[in-house]
A and B are shown apart, each in its own frame.
Chain A
Amino acid sequence: MNVTLHGGRVIDPASGLDTVADLHIRDQHVAAIGVAPDGFTADETFDASGLVVAPGLIDMQARLREPGEDHTGSMEAELAAAVRGGVTTVCVPPDTYPPIDTPAMAHMIRQRVDASGLARVFPIGALTVALEGERLTDMGSLHQAGCTVLSNGDRAIENTLVMRRALQYASTFDLTVLLNAQDPWLVGNGCIHEGEIATRLGLPVIPEAAETVGVARDLALIETTGIRAHFGCLSSARAVAMVADARRRGLPVSAGVTVHHLHLCESDVGVFNTYCKVMPPLRGMADRDALRRAVAEGVVATICSDHQAHGKDAKLAPFSEAASGIAGIETLLALALNLVRDGVLELRTALAALTVNPARILGIDRGSISTGSVADLCVFDPDSPWTLRDTGLTSRGTNTPFKDTELHARVKATLVAGRFVFRDGA
């Protein structure tokens, strides 16, 4: 089917293209930007005037709750939430049940997602069997099955020797690793940043050192193994500085943050607000501001949602016992663009952190718009104010601390391979 997106502001953060033009799609690809190619006739024309046409978002970390946790969310609902948020590729961490530690699991997830006909999925393979941090997975086979990026999810590999060997072995197959570096001993049973709020509320803490010690260990191992690594959800200014320093020394590392760490800090926990319980924890205002600067300056390359849908009961508990995580995939773009509106980020920087930068880290040919590129696209109105209500989410999870937040960007259409997978109001 041939589609023309008419009169939109086409932004490609990879090339710097930013122009009002028609975008023509043929055979799942971008056929032309501007004048239609010879002989092109659109089967459908979508009026994009006043809207931005950007590459589809690539969310570096989002749980689809299947297999294993389908009581909290369903793959269909979470993928519908994704495309409603303009996300066309969802990276699924290996901590499903069972985990993605075999090629069969990776295939199974791909098949389930393909059947949904919504977003694409990029399954992240496990570094260790059952994520237990003891035995290496069949990384070569996982690679063959398309898992070119491996991770141990939120589970730390406690044994440093196992970690070193996992990174060495992964480098054998030219894999990339995604690290959520937290020292498990310093995390302990903690549930909140070690700071004034934790002291007031009397909650067990996760000190900043949990992250800096974890990152320091992993950087030392990366340095000797030469593996490409991405620290996807950093929470502290110091950890970001450590990764930035490693980059200056030429290490093949990069950093990412969640969009909620760019908006919230420990004080938002207030009086036991369990919706603000996340891992890694929300840290101080200075950390939040440092993360914002790091994204603005390109030190932090990616912004993800770390989407985790929970049933209502999961948050109706004393803080230390409540589930952690935010159902955030639908608000990823709007929250990131609120930062553009507030003058924190340039539009191109924000979009790059959601599209081309994740694509480059994952090593996939997505996240950009040029003639011949796959037409995974997100069309949004940058100035269409709306207020988030928990009843207004497509996700099965209503766990968001951004309820009643005024958002300005609204996704109008999402296309995967030139096909509309979401249309506002449709």
Chain B
Amino acid sequence: MTPEASVQYDEHGRLRHFLTTEGLGREMLSEILDVAASFISVGERRIKKVPLLHGKTVVNLFFEASTRTRTTFEIAAKRLSADVINMNATRLSTTKGESVLDTVQTLEAMHTDMFVVRDKASGTAHLIARHAPRGVSIINAGDGRHAHPTQAMLDMFTIRQQKGVFEPLTVAITGDVLHSRVARSQIHALRQLGVSDLRVIGPATLLPTEIEKLGVKTFYNMDEGVEGADVLIMLRLQMERMDGQLLPGPEEYFRYYGLTERRLKRAKPDAIVMHPGPMNRGLEIASSVADGPQSVILTQVTNGIAVRMAIMAKLLGDAGRDGRE
């Protein structure tokens, strides 16, 4: 087991935390997708609840504001019948990390079962997981540029739903890979699920060094990168990257790396278009593509709830048995 993955398991080898997709292995990833599939129907029922996490307390601990992601976690937890507390905590980057751990310890003293953590610094979820007492699980809802594993899993779910299998697929991820925790988690998941032709596309300033070691091919030219692709994943470009140091400006970016209908035609005719949201229309993706027939962007959002339910159930359903009860 890789060190990255081993942090996530308890002493019985059961998944206890969900911090990264790296090193989880194909079997575990597939299992989560299978469980998610069984939860899809829950959202379509009149009574949208199952009692799996009845009596459990889930804390959404967001050091970095996010309404979208927090809401999907909240819905997922509530559909599993858990009690949910939302904490929009703030902290100063210059204060020592004890403040992160202090916050968590305070909440743990209230006998919570799970923390869903988001922070602007890479590694915060790992830090908390390493210091979490027995029976408390951590889900990483995004840490800096490092990982956003639940987003990646809902993307995997969407790809499997649309394409059935992973092995023969060509997947192209375009945009700001350097700053993207989503891209890193997607790359690890896609590689483990068997995608062999995995491409990342972007200008040199937005592709991290030695990214090839994660098992991807790099393309500076988007037309070449999307050629024959089955899945096109567009990344959100943060507007603060437009300060002229990493990129000259929005027009030039859209010209070379925006997904237009013309570029989409270079992909396979049945290629799907994905985006983790929120989108910058006209910057990384043309509206006609985002709203077009090949877009599965809203499907991703819907799937997000079932996938997060699956992950929560997997952690508290398995590891929770030996916990505080």
Contacts and interface: CB of A to CB of B under 8 A. Distances in A.
A92 to B, nearest CB: 25
Interface in A184-207: 194-196, 198-203, 205, 207
B74 interface: no
B144 A203 contact: yes
Select the residue from B7, B184, B209 with max chain A CB neighbours within 10 A. Answer: B209
Contacts of A195: 209-210
Contacts of B4: 200, 271
Nearest to A318: B121
Interface size class of A (residues with CB under 8 A): 20 to 34
Interface string A255-272: 000000000000000111
Interface stretch (A26-34, A40-48, A131-139, A309-317): A309-317
Interface stretch (A12-20, A319-327, A416-424): A319-327
Contact of A199 (B121, B124, B147, B210): B210
Nearest to B188: A200
Contacts of B93: 321
Select the residue from B3, B119, B123, B184 with max chain A CB neighbours within 10 A. Answer: B123
A313 B95 CA distance: 10
Contacts of A320: 121-123, 144
A319 B146 CA distance: 11
Contact of B145 (A196, A203, A313, A322): A203
A318 to B, nearest CB: 4
Contact of A272 (B101, B126, B210, B213): B126
Given A270-B3, A317-B127, A203 B122 contact: yes
B155 interface: no
A226 to B, nearest CB: 37
B113 interface: no
A317 B122 CA distance: 10
B181 interface: yes
Contacts of A322: 97
Contacts of B144: 202-203, 318, 320
B46 interface: no
Contacts of A205: 209
A270 B208 CA distance: 18
Interface string A63-87: 0000000000000000000000000
A202 B97 contact: no
Nearest to B124: A318
Nearest to B98: A313
Contact of A318 (B3, B7, B94, B97): B97
A319 B126 CA distance: 10
Interface string B97-130: 1101100000000000000000101111011000
Contacts of B96: 313-314, 316-317, 321
B211 interface: yes
B204 interface: no
Interface string A200-234: 11110101000000000000000000000000000
Interface in A298-356: 313-314, 316-322
A325 to B, nearest CB: 14
A196 B147 contact: no
Nearest to B181: A202
A316 B22 contact: no
Contacts of A199: 208-211, 213-214
Contact of A196 (B123, B126, B213): B213
Given A196-B210, A316-B96, A321-B97, A202 B127 contact: no
Nearest to B97: A317
Interface in B59-77: none
B210 A319 contact: no
Contacts of A271: 3-4, 7, 123, 126
B121 A321 contact: yes
B208 A272 contact: no
A120 to B, nearest CB: 33
Nearest to B121: A318
Interface in A111-133: none
B147 A318 contact: no
Interface string B194-232: 000000000000001111011000000000000000000
A318 B181 contact: no
Given A199-B211, A201-B146, A202-B146, A318 B184 contact: no
Contacts of A318: 97, 100, 119, 121-124, 127, 143-144
B246 to A, nearest CB: 12
B136 to A, nearest CB: 17
A146 B317 CA distance: 68
Interface of B: 3-4, 7, 22, 93-94, 96-98, 100-101, 119, 121-124, 126-127, 131, 143-147, 181, 184, 208-211, 213-214
30 contacts: A194-B209, A198-B209, A199-B210, A199-B214, A200-B4, A200-B184, A201-B123, A202-B144, A202-B145, A202-B146, A203-B122, A203-B144, A203-B146, A271-B3, A271-B126, A272-B122, A272-B123, A272-B126, A272-B127, A314-B96, A316-B127, A317-B97, A317-B127, A318-B119, A318-B124, A318-B144, A319-B122, A320-B122, A320-B144, A321-B121
Given A203-B123, A318-B143, 17 more contacts: A196-B210, A196-B213, A199-B211, A199-B213, A200-B184, A202-B122, A202-B147, A202-B181, A205-B209, A271-B3, A271-B126, A272-B127, A316-B96, A316-B131, A317-B127, A318-B100, A321-B93
Interface of A: 194-196, 198-203, 205, 207, 270-272, 313-314, 316-322
